[in-house]
C-alpha cells in the first residue's frame, strides 16, 4: 500500500461487482436488471445491447473510432472495457432515453420507491448517497457523484449537498435533488464524430442549463 492513501477514479471495482452479482444470482447482469428493475419501472427503452431490440434509427451513434475498433460505434457500448465484456459491464453499456433515466432517478429520489413498488431499501440509498471522505476533499458517494466541495465540480454550485447524480464521458448527465424535488437529465453524444470535441465541458453547457432550471423554478 501507498504510505499516503489518495483518491483515484476507477471503474475496476465495478468489474469485480459485476462478477460477484452474476455468480451470486447465477444469471447475467443484463438479464437481472431487465427482469427486476427496468421492466418493472416501465423503463422500456433502457437496455444493454440495444441493437438486439431497436432499429439503428432510434440509437444515436457515439464515435467514428480511429483507434482500437476502427469503425463507427453505433449501438455498441463506447467504453472499451465494457466492449471486451460483450457490451455488458458493471460500469458501462446501458443505453436509455431521457424519460427512462428520469424514472430511474425519480425512484432514487424517493429512496427506492416508485409507482407503488419498492425497489431498494431506504437505508441502501442513504448509504450510496453519502459523502464518506468529505474531510479529505473527496466529494463522491458510492457510485453517485456529489456536489463540489469547492468552487469547481460537477454541478452548477447552486444545489443542495444532499443531491446526487453522475456524468458520462460520451456526454450524458443526470442529477437529482431531494431537497428541491428536482430531477435533471441531459443526454448528448458529445464524442460524435470524434471524442476530441470538448465544447460541452469547456463551456459548462450541462451545468449552465442546470443553473437556469434552478433559477426558473426556485427563484
H, E, C per residue of the chain? CCCCCCCCCCCHHHHHHHHHHHHHHCCCHHHHHHHHHHHHHCCCCCEECHHHCCCHHHCCEEEECCCCCCCEEECCCCCHHHHCCCCCCCCCCEECCHHHHHHHHHHHHCCCEECCEECCCHHHHHHHCCCCEHHHCECCCCCCECCCCCCCCCCCCCCCCCCEEEECCCCCEEEEECCCCEEEEECCCCCCCCCCCCHHHHCCHHHHHHHHHHHHHCC
Predicted model pTM: 0.95
pLDDT by residue (tens digit) across 95-147? 999 999 999 999 999 999 999 999 999 999 999 999 999 999 999 999 999 99
Sign for the pseudo-dihedral over CA of 30, 32, 35, 40: negative
- For the chain, residues with pLDDT lower than 70 are 219
Predicted local distance difference test score (pLDDT) of residue 4 = 82
Domains of the chain, by residue range, sit at 12-96, 98-219
Q: Check residue 3 and give its pLDDT.
A: 83
Return the C-alpha cell found at 141: 458517494
Q: What is the pLDDT of residue 2?
A: 77
In DSSP terms, 113 is beta-bridged to 118
Amino acid at each position: 500500500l501507498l504510505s499516503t492513501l489518495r483518491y483515484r477514479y476507477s471503474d475496476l471495482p465495478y468489474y469485480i461487482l459485476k462478477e460477484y452479482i452474476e455468480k451470486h444470482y447465477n444469471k447475467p447482469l443484463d438479464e437481472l436488471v431487465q427482469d427486476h428493475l427496468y421492466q418493472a419501472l416501465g423503463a422500456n427503452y433502457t437496455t444493454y445491447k440495444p441493437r438486439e431490440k431497436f432499429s439503428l434509427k432510434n440509437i444515436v451513434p457515439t464515435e467514428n473510432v480511429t483507434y482500437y475498433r476502427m469503425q463507427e460505434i453505433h449501438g455498441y457500448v463506447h467504453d472499451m472495457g465494457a466492449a471486451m465484456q460483450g457490451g455488458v459491464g458493471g460500469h458501462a453499456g446501458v443505453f436509455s432515453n431521457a424519460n427512462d433515466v428520469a424514472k430511474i432517478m425519480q425512484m432514487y429520489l424517493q429512496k427506492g420507491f416508485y409507482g407503488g413498488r419498492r425497489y431498494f431499501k431506504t437505508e441502501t440509498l442513504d448509504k450510496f448517497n453519502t459523502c464518506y471522505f468529505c474531510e479529505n476533499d473527496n466529494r463522491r458517494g458510492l457510485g453517485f457523484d456529489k456536489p463540489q466541495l469547492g468552487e469547481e465540480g460537477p454541478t452548477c454550485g447552486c444545489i443542495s449537498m444532499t443531491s446526487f447524480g453522475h456524468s458520462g464521458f460520451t456526454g450524458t448527465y443526470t442529477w437529482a435533488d431531494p431537497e428541491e424535488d428536482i430531477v435533471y437529465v441531459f443526454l448528448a453524444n458529445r464524442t460524435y464524430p470524434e471524442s476530441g470535441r470538448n465544447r460541452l465541458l469547456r463551456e459548462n453547457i450541462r451545468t449552465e442549463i442546470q443553473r437556469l432550471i434552478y433559477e426558473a423554478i426556485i427563484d
